[in-house]
Amino acid sequence: MELDFERCYRAVSSRDQRFDGWFYTAVRTTGIYCRPSCPAVTPKARNVEFHPSAAAAQRAGFRACRRCRPDAAPGSPEWDVRADVVGRAMRLIGDGVVDREGVPGLASRLGYTERHLHRMLTAELGAGPLALARAQRAQTARILVETTDLGLAEIAFAAGFGSVRQFNDTILEVYARPPGQLRERRPKATAEAGTISLRLAFRAPLHAPSLLGFLAARALPGVEECSGTAYRRGLNLPHGSATVTLRPGDRWVSAALRLADVRDLAPAVARCRRLFDLDADPIAVDGTLGADPALSALVTAEPGVRVPRSVDGFEMAVRAVVGQQVSVASARTTLTRMLEHGTPGELTPGDPTPEDFGDRGAGDLAGFPSAETVARMPEAAFRMPAARRATIRALAEAVADGKVDLEPGADRAESVARLMEIPGIGAWTAGYVAMRAIGDPDVFLPTDVAVQRGAELMGLPGKPKALEQHAERWRPWRSYALIRLWRGYPQAAPAASEKRHSETPDR
């Protein structure tokens, strides 16, 4: 990736937070790399160089600034926009695939040789997959050192390092301090025992009421809870279960994580960031949407509206199918009944057991059941039309068999095509899944009734074809326009009004 020196240096001189995560500033005279918004004295231009990733700066021999914590900057919004191999690889590395499956596993998922993948990532980011994963491991280790009482050897393996020596060498190289000294400087613990507390950075502004309101209207008992200031849910992670509480603030989102296995810290953080769309560039999004006179007043009144995404692609796909042509409240009721099935009297041999859903004791939250579990649910769990029930079973089987990929690094076009091969899933459902599960920022659903009525209230054409033509000016941020149109119609009764779309049921 080529970085324009003058533009980057202007961003550093003005301490522009919008560029955090886009690039990193390395200062030759100090051997330190920073985020663009670092509050330290601006270095002289002749002493700096710019890198497209923290891994590239580390590879060039620079250590992370202890003042601005560049390794904790928001991720580049470019990876959300781009659907190419590099963008997919970055999402998978963030989800911890290299730590769990190695570079061969990452390359296999993407359909490229290890050598070619290394070449592409190095050309774009200045570092290959191992170096990128190593930078992430270092950040994960620092969080564990500073926020938990785990032994340093435990932290080394929990963060994904192959040995304690590798852990010690990496921390010393990246932070210029051995792990023990990082622990000496940690802040006094304020969280309850067993909880990892951290701050998730984002590019301001972030319109928290729209995020929390959207999630609250769809919250499933036993899986998630949402108040006016916080969102809490259960997670299914590679090594076990977890619960997370997210509280949006003015500068960051506070996250409190309780993990069954601390090796899941990095994927948990990645999924929380994805859920709240924290790597988005709201200035770019609002600039494009606000240029349309029909949306400008709404963008001005509510800057920083994000797309609520998901922590589980299969969960979101099931929600989309259940939500076909029904209100949000009705869909939530149906899904809640699905999750309540499986009492001992109803189970037959081979049916899911309560353990398949995690511990649902009093006050506990568990992740949404897996595709394998849903595929084995008894008929009594699906209180819905037979055709929709068959669609959910077919979807669960396709995801369980690997025929449909809804993971962060999925090929968006291929996943949509595979979804639409399933009877009962059409353009609306596949588009909704692409937007919320796979993270496509440029989805538009012109047949959605609430979208049409929201458009009419804003003086836009309500007919699908005309509305779709008008929406071309919102590219590549049409998913964000959808959220704004949904918010615009009518706010007095959102649950009753959001009939999903005006098409006949998807076939």
Residues that are catalytic: 34, 448
What's the order of all strands across the beta sheet hosting 32-34? 48-51, 24-27, 32-34, 63-64
Cα atoms found within 13 Å of the Cα of residue 358, Cβ hemisphere only: 25
Query: How far does Cα 311 stand from its chain's mean position?
Result: 7
The residue type found at 384 is M
Q: What is the 3-state secondary structure (H, E, C) of 379-416?
A: HHHCCCCHHHHHHHHHHHHHHHCCCCCCCCCCCHHHHH
Cα dist. 271→19, 164, 166, 267, 426 in Å?
22, 27, 27, 6, 27
Q: Is 283 helix (H, G, I), strand (E, B) or coil?
A: helix
Which are the contacts of 371, defined by CB distance < 8 A and separation ≥ 6? 314, 395, 396, 397, 399, 400
Q: Cα–Cα distance between 442 and 288 in angstroms, integer? A: 12
Q: Cα–Cα distance between 159 and 437 in angstroms, integer? A: 26
Most distant CA pair in the chain: distance in Å?
75
Angle between helices 449-457 and 478-488 (to 10 degrees): 80
Angle (nearest 5°) at CA 345 between 344 and 348: 80
Residues 114-147: b if buried by 16+ CB within 10 A, e if exposed: beebbebbbebbbbbbbbbbbbbbbbbbbbbbbb
Sign of CA dihedral 488, 490, 492, 497: negative
Cα dist. 195→94, 235, 243, 248, 258 in Å?
21, 15, 10, 18, 5
Q: What is the 3-state secondary structure (H, E, C) of 292-313?
A: CHHHHHHHHHCCCCCCCCCCCH
Q: Cα–Cα distance between 222 and 241 in angstroms, integer? A: 14
Q: Cα–Cα distance between 499 and 115 in angstroms, integer? A: 49
Closest CA to 12 of 28, 35, 29, 31: 35
Q: What DSSP string runs through 414-455? A: HHHHHHTTSTT--HHHHHHHHHHTS--TT---TT-HHHHHHH
